[in-house]
Structure 1
Amino acid sequence: MALYYKESGDRESQRVIVFLHGGGVGGWMWDGVTDYFQDSYCLIPDLPGHGRSAGEPFVSISDTAAYLNRWIMDLAKGRELVVAGFSLGAQILVEMLGQEPELMDYAIINSALTSPLPGARVFTRPLIGLTFPLVRNRSFSRLQARTLYISDADFEKYYEECCRMEKETLLSILEENMSFQVPSGFKKATANLLVTVGEKEKSVMRRSVQQLMNLQERAAGIMFPGVGHGVPLADPALFHRVVQRWLADGTIANEVIRVQT
């Protein structure tokens, strides 16, 4: 596997931040956030089957996590390591922590579904078979883009990537996403963890935050008020302020809601 990735910020910084995007988008979803982290060395890969890594098949969350752990080890070179993941990228991050519990210093897990949906692998394939043509429908894509807070400026990029995505890639991603379970090694992770969800997300997403917090005593949970699935796109400045403060001294900004276990 060889994934495309973009770099930004200070290459000499002692802090490396890796940003993992969600399913159906690309590393570009983090552009508004990484603009605020110019004092860190930021690495933003396109995941398998997405963007400029579309030629690399998406096999599984576990396979992608194993590759990214090896890749990060080579690039971080002993520096402080922070990884932020959103949605599919957050599930991959949870799996990375399970596979290599001592690799990271900080992890920001945004909107990770950790409760498998009943019958996901049984019903996903026939459902996608019926609905896949909608993926390339411009009006449908416009509706999807709004739910993810994708701006008008980024819509053409999003639509182009939707049109390029292969049916088998989409199937693999959705099957993995909806049947994902937290690996046993996650409990052993030594990183400081910030687990986030949007206030307007589905209840299963809020339950996922609670599950991760119950499994990991090092995890702090927060809810972004008034936001659904996609706070890094909806309000990158808020996302940066909250994360930057937490990285600096471990405290939670007053702008968000603390989740209690």
Structure 2
Amino acid sequence: MWEPLASRIESSYRLVIPDLPGHDRSQGAAYRSHDATIEILATVIEKDASTPVTVVGFSLGAQLAVLLAARYPRLVQDVVIISAQAKPTPCPGATLALLRMAAPLARNEKFARLQAKELFVPNELMDDYLRTSRSINAHTLVAAVGENLKFTVPPGWSAFPGRSLVMVGERERVLMRKSAQLLAEAHSRSEIVVVESCGHGIPFQQPERLAVRLQEWLRGAG
């Protein structure tokens, strides 16, 4: 997911890119909830960083970035939120029921390739996508998506003392664009950026532009 961006970030920045529970090298620990996951991520930050960090998250990861900033401001200096849903999806139960039935399809290569196309996964990363897609079990898939669908702006977000950069694709669903606006309006030190010609896949669709914008924003800290 982050390889296109990471390869374009200046070497002066140290990057820590963890696998979330239930994903790739962390597939042995099922995804339970956003709350449980941010406790793990907070531990990672405390172990690997001597000073507060900039947290960057995309989609589900962007929701986790918001939660980390809201609950652990001592660990988070600034936060970059890319395509985070912050308004609950109507009738999530029906969506999750369909997801449970469709979960085994993730192991089907033809279906996985269709999903990869929807996510703008580049050809050079297709093998990695297929491998990680096959490794995600139904429990992790339903738990992670369920948390994603019900996510709302958390208490503490408005009081986060750091900066936030909220990004959303110009071609994303109305719900996503409204979510970006909601997150930006709820945090007084926020800047919102609508990325032209992008859907729900900014790190894959425009990694060069994202890297430039992110580094400019980081240099403006202070």
User: What is the TM-score with the length of structure 1 in the denominator?
Assistant: 0.81
Alignment of 1:1-261 (within 5 A): 29-37=1-9, 38-78=11-51, 81-120=53-92, 122-249=93-220
Unaligned runs of 5+ in 1: 1-28, 251-261
User: What is the TM-score with the length of structure 2 in the denominator?
Assistant: 0.94
SS of residue matched to 1:98: helix
Aligned letter for 2:66?
Answer: V
Of Structure 1 and Structure 2, which has the larger fraction of its residues in strand? 1
1:69 and 1:96 in contact (8 A); partners too: yes
- The root-mean-square deviation of aligned C-alpha atoms, in Å, is 1.4
CA deviation after TM superposition for structure 1 residue 129, in Å: 2.9
Alpha-carbon distance in 1 for matches of 2:180, 2:96? 28
**Deviations, residues 82-110 of structure 1 (Å, cap 9, x unaligned):** 11000010011111112113422211000
2:22 and 2:140 in contact (8 A); partners too: yes
1:124 and 1:174 in contact (8 A); partners too: no
Which runs of 4 or more aligned residues in structure 1 lie more than 3 Å from their structure 2 counterparts after TM superposition?
Answer: none
SS of residue matched to 1:42: coil
1:104 and 1:190 in contact (8 A); partners too: no
Identity of aligned residues (%): 34
Q: Which of the pair has the greater relative contact order for Cα pairs under 8 Å at 6+ separation?
A: 2
**Deviations, residues 56-80 of structure 1 (Å, cap 9, x unaligned):** 11110111112211220221112x5
CA deviation after TM superposition for structure 1 residue 30, in Å: 0.9
Aligned length: 220
2:68 and 2:76 in contact (8 A); partners too: no
Alpha-carbon distance in 2 for matches of 1:61, 1:249? 30
Unaligned runs of 5+ in 2: none
